[in-house]
Amino acid sequence: MYLKRKIDRILEEWKASPDRKPLIIKGARQVGKTRSVRHFAEKEYKSIVEINFFEEPKYNVIVRDGYSADDIIRNITLLDPRKKIIPGETLIFFDEIQKFPDICTSFKFFRQDGRYDVIASGSLLGTSYNEIESISVGSKIDKEMKSMDFEEFLWANGYSEKNIEEILTHMVEGCPFSDAEMTAFGHIFMDYAITGGMPEIVDMYITNGHFGGVYDAQQQIVNDYREDVRKYVTGLDQARILNVFDKIPVQLAKDNKKFQLSKVKSGARFKDYWGCIDWLDTAGVINICYCLNTPELPIKGNYDEKKYKLYYCDTGLLVSQLDEEAQEDLRVNQNLGVYKGAMYENLAGEALVKQGYDLYYYKRKDSTLEEDFFIRSRDDLIPVEIKAGNNVSRSLRELIKSEKYPDIHYGIKFISGNIGHENNIYTFPLFCLFLLKRYLKKGIR
């Protein structure tokens, strides 16, 4: 079963452009890049030529006679005469190009030739993307793909665009959801938290109608991530990257969720580990949330690069790394204890990143004021608070009321409860997180 993805529309728009360049789809392992490209190609082209440089390293020789379209096509058909390449009707799909970045040199020539469409993709592409960028600058288009967001999860479960528009209308008009709506969307949001957005796992959950097999599949993806570190990184950095990745769930479970290198290894220094954290971020495996120096505009440059929280790119993968009791508690909707805040924060960070936001938080040095996230509109800095319940938001109220923070005029809080508005705090259920950007475009009333 193919699961509808947002990349589908991007691929269609790319195909409709008369001057389309070769397209590179970047993203972490298992987010659905290959499946989406194949689905698109089967609808749009008479002939599809797929070359996977990881599974078929023999194709590394296709550039030995040159990088022109004719040179490469001739060598492809020499290696496999069954591949049919029809001018004007063929998509050439280079997959796992991180194993052979030199192929990107040909993109300039494919673009000049114009007879064949080219899409390229690769898992953990960011790890070798500097090399790819240097040899294909100006000759390609980049698009990033992540695991499924909650909207895509709703599509997969049979909800329509109309259903999603109704959720947004509730938010814009400030109209509380009915008990039936709260129950239905609350339950499916919790299912999303458990499964995460990896399409293989979502497909398994929908097909089976239960969580059987989900945990094992999540564990396999995490193990594949670890194996990729071993493949693409050598020396001391390999162990450092794995240590950072493995310590994220434990550190998120603390009251102070700031990532502490001293908890990774005694005596660990920022300069020794920052490249490892950047590697995981570039690879699409984690999301970094930086601490603002002060809650004011502009955000860019107004943060401390040595103070940050780390989140998993996919909350389902985070849940799979919690202790077994916490996983079982979540699946039967019981108390998660120390992990509850970690899961909800990770969900929020993931939702913000998938809407195109960078992640920032703030904690005052005296620890009396702390806010989970900050985003900005055209004119305002907006604090965003995540609550498992509906506790009093003292920090949020202070940020809004204090004259010390002139860029903050209102705040947004996501809770387990219903819609509300009081003291310039707009409150929404957690399942509305994926619509925050669209809500802000409609304007605060």
Per-residue pLDDT tens for 289-326? 999 999 999 998 899 999 999 999 999 999 998 866 66
Predicted local distance difference test score (pLDDT) of residue 125: 60
Confirm if 351 and 146 have CB atoms less than 8 A apart.
no
Predicted local distance difference test score (pLDDT) of residue 157: 97
Predicted local distance difference test score (pLDDT) of residue 235: 81
- Let me know if 189 is exposed, middle or buried by CB neighbors in 10 A (0-12, 13-18, 19+): buried
The chain-wide mean pLDDT, for the chain, equals 91
Q: pTM (2 decimals)? A: 0.94
Predicted local distance difference test score (pLDDT) of residue 134: 62
Tell which residue, 112, 132, 152, 119, has the closest CA to residue 31. 152
- Say which amino acid occupies 290: Y
Which residues of the chain, if any, have pLDDT below 50? none
Predicted local distance difference test score (pLDDT) of residue 265: 86
pLDDT in tens, 369-411: 999 999 999 889 999 999 987 777 899 999 999 999 999 999 9
Predicted local distance difference test score (pLDDT) of residue 426: 96
Tell which residue, 156, 436, 201, 429, has the closest CA to residue 314. 201
Q: What is the full DSSP assignment across 403-420?
A: TT-TT---EEEEESS--E
Pairing of strands 411-415, 420-422: unpaired
The tokens for 160 are: 């329509």
Integer CA distances (angstroms), 371 to 100, 257, 286, 422, in order? 44, 12, 20, 18
DSSP 3-state assignment of 42? helix
Instruction: Answer positive or negative: Cα dihedral of 87, 88, 89, 93.
Output: positive
Taking phi over 0 as left and psi of -120 to 50 as alpha, with beta for the rest, 370 belongs to: beta
Pairing of strands 425-429, 420-422: antiparallel
Q: How many whole angstroms separate alpha carbon 313 and alpha carbon 241?
A: 15
